[in-house]
Structure 1
Amino acid sequence: MSKVLLVVGHPDLSRSMANKALVDAVRELAHVTVHDLYATYPDFQIDVDAEQALLADHDVIVFQHPVFWYNTTPLLKQWQDKVFTLGWAFTLDGSPSRLAGKKAIVAVTAGVPADHYTPEGSNQATLETLLSNWHATLRLCQFDIQPMVKLYGTAFGLSDQDLTTAAKQYSELLAAFAA
């Protein structure tokens, strides 16, 4: 059974509709550890050793956050800067990092509908293109990169049924790692 670490980077999970629904859908899975960065570090003082120990202890790392100005949230970005250190999270000589081979999933929520994230849409780019820094970071850290999980329209146009379906699919995805 693979142990899954869900690193949640939402500034106020209790007030979130979409991110909270996704987290709540997997919270009871025995092999999933939910790690809410904003609840753990309200002062933004990240305990790097504790975070690296959490990462080392899990096989699958899920990075979940809302899209903030085509990027991660501020604390999740700071977490990356502090925790993904040279010699631990990545190397420059090609030798294995401590994260090499672990599966990584980026799960994001976007306020606007999916058609905004197309070359023809208002953002003129896909989420994968706008968040390509994630792919580069995960590749450098030698993760086994899994497909991105995307939930669109969370601020405009997401029905209760759509949210329920997305939460169920998220739970099924993370539950599959228990096999």
Structure 2
Amino acid sequence: MSKVLILVGHPDLSRSKHNAALLDGVKDLDHVTVHDLYATYPDFAVDGDAERDLIAQHDVIVFQHPVYWYNTTPLFKQWQDTVLTYGWAFNYEGRRSRTAGKKGMVVVTIGGTQDHYTCEGLVGRTAEELLNNWDSTLRLCQFDIQPVFKLYGTDFGVPHEDVVTAGKQYRALLTSFS
């Protein structure tokens, strides 16, 4: 059974509707560990060794966060800088990293609607284009990259049934790793 680690980078999960709803659908799964970065590191002093140990204990690493200005949240960026270090998570010499072969998946909630995230839409780019930084990071760290899971329209009142459906899809996806 694959062990799944969900690294959650939401600044205030207690006030979240959508990230919390996704987590509610999976937190009872025996093979899933939910790790709230903002609750663990309110001062942004990320313990790189502890985080690397946690990653080492899991087979699937999920990076979950709301999209902030077309990117990740500030603490998640700090986490990346502190944890995904040269020689451990990546190198330029072609050696196998400590994250090599682990499944890596990005899960995001996006304020804009899906039609905003097209070449013709308000943003002028797809969500995948804007999240290329994650793709490049996971590729450099030799993760087995999984498709991005997205929940659009969170600033526009996603209908409750759509949130429920997304939660069920998220659960099915994480269950497939068991």
Structure 2 length as normaliser, TM-score?
A: 0.99
SS in 1 for 2:92: coil
Residue number in structure 1 paired with 2:111: 111
**How big is the shift at 1:13?**
0.5
Q: Is the 8 A contact 1:113 1:157 kept in 2?
A: no
Distance 1:170 1:14 in 2: 20
Distance 1:68 1:24 in 2: 22
What does the per-residue CA deviation read over 1:92-133, in whole Å, with 9 as the maximum and x for residues that have no partner? 100100000000000000011100000000000001101101
How many correspondences in the alignment? 178
**How big is the shift at 1:155?**
1.4
Residue number in structure 1 paired with 2:152: 152
Residue number in structure 2 paired with 1:67: 67
Distance 2:153 2:27 in 1: 23
SS in 1 for 2:129: helix
What does the per-residue CA deviation read over 1:42-98, in whole Å, with 9 as the maximum and x for residues that have no partner? 111111100000011100000000000000000000000110000000011001000
SS in 2 for 1:167: helix
Distance 1:128 1:101 in 2: 22
- RMSD over aligned Cα atoms: 0.5
Distance 1:85 1:30 in 2: 29
Residue number in structure 1 paired with 2:38: 38
Structure 1 length as normaliser, TM-score?
A: 0.98
Which runs of at least 4 in structure 1 moved beyond 6 Å after TM superposition?
none
The one-letter code sitting in structure 1 at the alignment partner of 2:113 is P
Residue number in structure 1 paired with 2:8: 8
Q: Please give the residue correspondences for 1:1-179 in structure 2 after superposition, counting only pairs within 5 Å.
A: 1-178=1-178
Distance 2:160 2:103 in 1: 30
Distance 1:40 1:95 in 2: 32
The one-letter code sitting in structure 1 at the alignment partner of 2:71 is N
The one-letter code sitting in structure 2 at the alignment partner of 1:88 is W
- Ranges in structure 1 where 5+ consecutive residues have no aligned partner: none
